[in-house]
Amino acid sequence: MTPQKAATSAVGIPVITRDLPQRKWRRLLSPRLFEATVLIVDILLIVAAGIVANVAYHWITGSEAGSVVPYAGMGLIISVNFAALMAARRNYRLKRLTLFDTQARQTIFIWSGIYGLLAAVAFTMKISGDFSRGAVILSFVDGFALLLGLRLPVASIISSSIARGAFATN
């Protein structure tokens, strides 16, 4: 790569005559960074969905919301399990993220399975009394909608970026 020469404007401010090197931007669009970002966004969305569902349910019913800590904890447990299973099934790989149909199927399967399993665990351990059933159901629906809503733009962004050659698939 040839070095860039800077010209000087009338007021003495250097002006770069060429665009910034593409290499710096390509590092920001590395496949691993993008995959990790989607995983982190999934975790944050699930935790936020648990907290928002609790607040929304108690606001709708007119009852006192109480502590959000149990719902944040529930969201964290669900998000870690969801992300671990999605990662184990390689659903955070760049090539898989471009396939919305596959992502939707995997999200439905894993999301429903985790909620069903954790509901059974909460029932058998008798901790379900600490949680409002309505808030938990709303959290299930809210988190599910957010995860599916994330998958479509992610698939579109990755597909268009690959088509433009922004990053190579791994």
Give the tens place of pLDDT for each residue, 13-65. 555 555 555 555 555 567 888 889 999 999 999 999 989 988 888 888 888 76
Q: Is 127 part of any domain?
A: yes
Coil, strand or helix: which one is 11?
coil
Q: Is 80 part of any domain?
A: yes
Q: Is 9 part of any domain?
A: no
- If one compares 24 and 84, the residue with the highest pLDDT of the two is 84
Q: Is 1 part of any domain?
A: no
Q: Is 145 part of any domain?
A: yes
Structure tokens given for 9:
């404007």
Distance CA 82, CA 111 (A): 7
Question: Domain range spanning residue 123?
Answer: 22-164
pTM score, whole prediction:
0.76
pLDDT for res 18: 55
* Count of structural domains within the chain: 1
On the question of pLDDT at 6 being above 60, the answer is no
Distance CA 132, CA 112 (A): 19
Do the beta carbons of residue 166 and residue 34 sit within 8 Å? no
Q: Is 17 part of any domain?
A: no
Least confident of 89-98, 103-112, 120-129: 120-129
Distance CA 46, CA 117 (A): 16
DSSP state of 15: E
83 CB-near residues (< 8 Å, 6+ apart): 39, 42, 43
On the question of pLDDT at 7 being above 90, the answer is no
| Burial class for 110, CB neighbours closer than 10 Å (0-12, 13-18, 19+) | buried
DSSP state of 20: P
Distance CA 9, CA 118 (A): 65
Distance CA 47, CA 56 (A): 14
Q: Is 146 part of any domain?
A: yes
Q: What is the largest CA-CA distance in the chain?
A: 77
Q: What percent of the chain has pLDDT over 90?
A: 40
Q: Is 3 part of any domain?
A: no
The C-alpha angle with vertex 111 and arms to 107 and 114, in degrees rounded to 5, equals 145
